[in-house]
């Protein structure tokens, strides 16, 4: 269920131990949560990390710089694309060892992109094309095109 912010506001100041907040921590909510719960010293991101693997880095930068707000959309530069590409290749290699059928392997890898597509809002058409791919070579070519552009 959803976190009960009203209860949290009442009890947070009573704790002497460090508080950890867990629940719906993302780009659009972090700034509001940080302001609403100044007693919280740690944040658990959870599933949002699958969609936005750079969120922890950006939150840390936001807190360090005392920026006015956390940017809504992650900035995808060449360095970040390289990180995603490396993770993707490692994941593909691991799945190749346990999934023998090509279509099943491609399907498994494509499911990863349903989380990552929010990092590439300008590539919606390409993401749609990926959904039709069944062959591993076509899939690898598609990934190369997305991450090298």
Q: What is the per-residue pLDDT across 121-139, written as a single tens digit (0 to 9) for each?
A: 888 899 999 999 999 999 9
pLDDT per residue over 75-131, tens digit each? 889 999 999 999 999 999 999 999 999 999 999 999 999 889 988 888 889 999 999
Q: What is the pLDDT of residue 118?
A: 86
pLDDT tens sequence across 3-25 = 889 998 898 889 889 999 988 89
Tell me the β-bridge partners of 43. 21
pTM of the entire structure?
0.79
Q: Quickly list DSSP for 54-120.
A: THHHHHHHHHHHT-SS--SS----HHHHHHHHHHHHHHHHHHHHH--SHHHHHHHHHHHHHHHGGG-
């Amino acid at each position: 269920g959803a976190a009960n912010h009203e209860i949290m506001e009442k009890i947070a100041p009573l704790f002497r131990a460090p508080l950890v907040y867990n629940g719906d921590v993302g780009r659009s909510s972090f700034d509001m949560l940080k302001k609403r719960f100044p007693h919280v010293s740690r944040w658990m991101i959870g599933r949002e990390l699958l969609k936005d693997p750079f969120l922890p880095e950006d939150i840390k930068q936001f807190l360090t710089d005392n920026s006015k707000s956390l940017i809504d959309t992650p900035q995808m530069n060449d360095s970040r694309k390289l990180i995603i590409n490396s993770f993707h290749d490692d994941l593909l290699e691991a799945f190749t060892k346990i999934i023998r059928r090509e279509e099943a392997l491609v399907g498994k890898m494509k499911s990863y992109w349903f989380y990552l597509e929010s990092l590439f809002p300008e590539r919606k058409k390409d993401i749609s094309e990926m959904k039709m791919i069944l062959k591993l070579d076509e899939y690898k070519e598609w990934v190369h095109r997305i991450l090298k552009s």
